[in-house]
Amino acid sequence: MSTSTSHYTPRRANWLAAGGTKTADGLDVDPEILDDGYGFDEIEEIAWDDQPLTQSSPVVETVDPGSVAVAVDGVSKIYRVRSSTEHLKSQKRVGRHVQRVLGSGWAEIPALEEVSFVVNRGETVGVIGTNGSGKSTLMKLLTGKIRPSSGEVYATSTPVMLGVNAALVRQISGRENIKLGCLAMGLSPKETEERFDMIVEISGLADALDMPLKAYSSGMASRLQFAIATAVDPDILLIDEALNTGDAQFRARTKKRLDEVRAQAGCVFLVSHSLGTIKQMCTRVIWIEQGRLLADGDPEWVCAQYQEYTDHKSNDRMRSAQIVYDRTLLKLSPVQVEFTPGTRPTKVSRAR
């Protein structure tokens, strides 16, 4: 037998009333630890929807296929590595003994959980996160260097990857490296000659062109790599930690060059630990933490949350860091990518 229930209005404590209660660390107070002295005197009325399930209904947004540069659809990556202790997890006694004798087993290490997002032409997307969070794995998935464990990566052209380990020949001069690098990227000798002065200007290495590369500092080599990689006007450019060693003048030149790339209907991914560089050069920021997409939005807001999170972790305030993590995740709007027939771009992960 069922009994009828009267219509009611839920109530919640508004502990951030006038004056705003904060902890010593500047965080919003956790409601679980509030007591009588923390402002429970103000109660906020919340009107309850007669159909609460409609509150979380997904919003379908139609995107112009011509404006899309990269689409990441439910991509994840799990690495399988050999482990000498994996046999201990086997449920079968015989299996444990066999693997112990062989001295090997396979362990699965999740590097990136399912990630979905769409990047339009003209955007510069910053990618931030602590070490080991999955940033470099995402970059390798975008370029097609590794295959995703699930999902697909789509792009309108093959992304060009620029990293601190880009191939340069240490035994020859910077001048020869410029010529060799341009030829390796498909430019003709005439095109290389036409863009030579631009590359030298961006790198700021006019006085060191005739020195062998092994005499360059790491910052000088990174600047030369960036200048060479952007000489081909790539439609999709990925930069992994290559701008952190530059001075203010170099950052100004690179920003100007990135603006030119964006103006030519391209998009740029920039991975960096320098929040100043991210805020200066990016129009959007993706925060990946512990293999999970945590935030995707305005550079100022995302960088502020990331700065607060890392400050708490560096001071061993793990509970405070977890609060920032959960609070940021709540503001993330999940994305599901769907294509209408005939509008799918090239599959990067299967193009190589």
As a whole-number percent, the residues of the chain with pLDDT over 90 amount to: 27
pLDDT band at 165 (very low <50, low <70, confident <90, very high): very low
68-74+115-159+234-350 homologous superfamily: P-loop containing nucleotide triphosphate hydrolases (3.40.50.300)
Domain residues of the chain, as ranges? 11-56, 68-74+115-159+234-350
Confidence band of 273 (pLDDT split at 50, 70, 90) = confident
pLDDT beyond 80 at 316:
yes
Mean pLDDT of 23-42: 45
pTM above 0.85, yes or no: no
Name the nearest CA neighbour of 121 among 64, 62, 61, 185: 64
> In the prediction, which pLDDT does 31 show?
46
Q: How does residue 43 score in pLDDT terms, banded at 50, 70 and 90?
A: very low
The answer to which of 166-170, 214-218, 231-235, 269-273 has the lowest mean pLDDT is 166-170
Share of the chain above pLDDT 70, in %: 68
pLDDT-based confidence at residue 80 (cuts at 50, 70, 90)? confident
Quick check: 9 pLDDT over 60? no
Average pLDDT score over the chain? 76
240 compared with 343, residue with greater pLDDT: 240
Which parts of the chain are beta strand (E)? 11-13, 43-45, 68-82, 106-120, 124-128, 150-155, 160-163, 236-240, 267-271, 284-289, 292-297, 346-347
Instruction: Indicate the residue type of 37.
Output: G
For the segment 33-53, the average pLDDT, to the nearest whole number, is 44
Q: What pLDDT, on the 0 to 100 scale, is given for residue 39?
A: 43
* Banded model confidence at residue 99, pLDDT cuts 50, 70, 90: low
pLDDT at 87 over 60: no
Give just the sign of the alpha carbon dihedral 182, 188, 190, 191. negative
- Asked if residues 76 and 63 have their Cβ atoms less than 8 Å apart, the reply is no
Closest listed residue to residue 232, CA positions, set 209, 277, 266, 272:
266
More confident: 246 or 306: 306
pLDDT for residue 48 is more than 70 = no
